Amino acid sequence: MEVLIEQIAVYGSVFLLCGIVVFFYLRRQKKTSKITTQKVAIAKEEGVYEPVSLHPHIDLNICIGSAACIQDCPEKDILGIVDGKATAINTSHCIGHGACFHACPVEAISLKIGTEKRGVDLPHINENFETNVQGIYIAGELGGMGLIKNSVEQGKQAVEGMRTPKTKIPNVLDLVIVGAGPAGISATLMAKKRGFSSVTLEQDSLGGTVYTFPRAKIVMTAPMDLPLYGKVKLYNTSKDELLTLWRKVISENDLDIHENTKVEQIIPQEAGFFNVITATGEEFLAHNVLLAIGRRGSPRKLNIPGENSQKVAYRLLEPERISGKKIVVVGGGDSAVESAMLVMEDNDVILSYRKDKFARIKPKNRERILAAIDSGKINAIFNSNLVEIKEKTVILKVEGEASNREIENDLVYIFAGGILPTKFLQDAGIEVTKRFGYTMKKHK
C-alpha cells in the first residue's frame, strides 16, 4: 500500500510539473500571439502588410510553429507566430533572400510574387533562365528574384547552361550581357571562364542598382561564389565596399564592360543571332543575350514643366559633396527619405510627398525621418505635388491651399519609382504575363 501511495505521489508530481510547464507554455504562446496580432494590425494601418514583390507564403495546414523561419530571417518583423502558426507581418519589407523557405523543417513556406489582388508583370523563363525566345536569357531582379547573392548565382547559372554556338560567324559575339549589376558581373565572369566572346553593356555605372544606393547605405548580402574569383563572404557591407570588390574582380580578369551604354532594341535575325542596338546607334551582334537589368527600368518622371533642367536628378550620388543648397526631394518611399536624411545636415531640405503620411517605408527609416522632421532638420510638406521647376524656384501645389507655393531652390531629386521595361521585352518577342500569387520555381 505504501509503495502504491508513493507511486501515486510521484505520478501526481509529474502531472503537476507537466501541467505547470503546459500552463506557462500556453501563457507565453498567448502573449506572443497577442503581440504579433498587434504588429499585423499596425502593419495593415501603415500599408506595409501587403507584399510588393517576392514574399513568403505560409501553408497553415503544414506549419508546426517551430519559428525557425523567424530566427533565420535577417529582417525584423517580416514573420511572427499567432496561435502556434507562422504568419506574415511586414511583407512589403521582405528582401527576397529565401532564408525562411530553406529554414522551415516541414516545407510549409513557399516564395510567391504578386498577390490575388495585386499582379506583377513577369517574363517567361524556364529552369535554365531562357525566355520563350531561344537565345535570350534573364537573370536577377527582372525575373522576380532580387538580392545580391541570388542575382550572382542566377547570372552564373544562366551562362553556365547556355548552348555553345554550333557555327562561329565572323563579327558575331557568343554573348551580349545587358546590365553590370551583381547578375551581370557574375555572368560576365562565367562567360570569360567558358571562353565566350562577350561584351557587357550598362546603361548607368558599374554596380547597376547597387550603384544607385546612397553611399552610406548598408546592403544586406551573404556568402557567394563568384566565377574566376572564388568565395566572397559578405554579410553587412556598404555600397563602396561592394563596388571596390566589383572593380577588383573586373580589373583582375580584364572584363569588357561598357558603362553609360543603354540598350534600346534587341532584334532577332534570320541567321539565328541577335542585333543589340544602343541609344547612340552602336550595334552588337551576338548568338545569345542575357538581360541582367533591374525591374525598375527607367526612372518614372513627373512630366511637368522644367523637369529637363540640369538641377533635376533621379538618384543621389556623392551626398557628402553637397552643401549650402536649397534642396527639394520628391517622394515618400525609402529611397526618398534616405536621400533627404543624407543631405539634411549641410543643406536646407524640403521633402514633398503627395500623401498625408509615409507608407511602405522601413521601420528604422520611419523612426529616423519623423525625428528629423520634429527636430526641424527636414521640412516635410505632405499632400503636396511638384507642378513646375524654374531656374531658381519650384512651384508646389498643396492640398487645401488656395494658391501654389513658390519656393527658392537649387536642386531637385525625384523618387517616383521606375517604369517596368515591359515594352522593351515585348519588342524583343519576350512574353510577359501579369502573375497573381505566382509561386517562384527553384532553379537548379
pLDDT digit string, tens, across residues 135-152? 999 988 776 655 677 788
What is the model's pLDDT at position 72? Answer: 81
What is the model's pLDDT at position 149? Answer: 75
What is the model's pLDDT at position 103? Answer: 84
Judged by DSSP in three states, 169 sits in: coil
Residue-wise DSSP of 15-31: HHHHHHHHHHHHHHHHH
The DSSP secondary-structure symbol of 320 reads G
What is the model's pLDDT at position 284? Answer: 95
What is the model's pLDDT at position 442? Answer: 55
Residue-wise DSSP of 334-380: HHHHHHHHHSTTTSEEEEE-SSSS--S--HHHHHHHHHHHHHTSEEE
What is the model's pLDDT at position 335? Answer: 87
Give how far Cα 62 sits from Cα of 66, 106, 222, Å. 11, 7, 29
User: Each residue of 399-411: pLDDT tens digit?
Assistant: 999 999 999 999 9
Low-confidence ranges of the chain (pLDDT < 50): 443-444
What is the model's pLDDT at position 255? Answer: 85
Q: Which domains are delineated in the chain?
A: 2-113 (3.30.70.20), 121-297+420-439 (3.50.50.60), 299-418 (3.50.50.60)
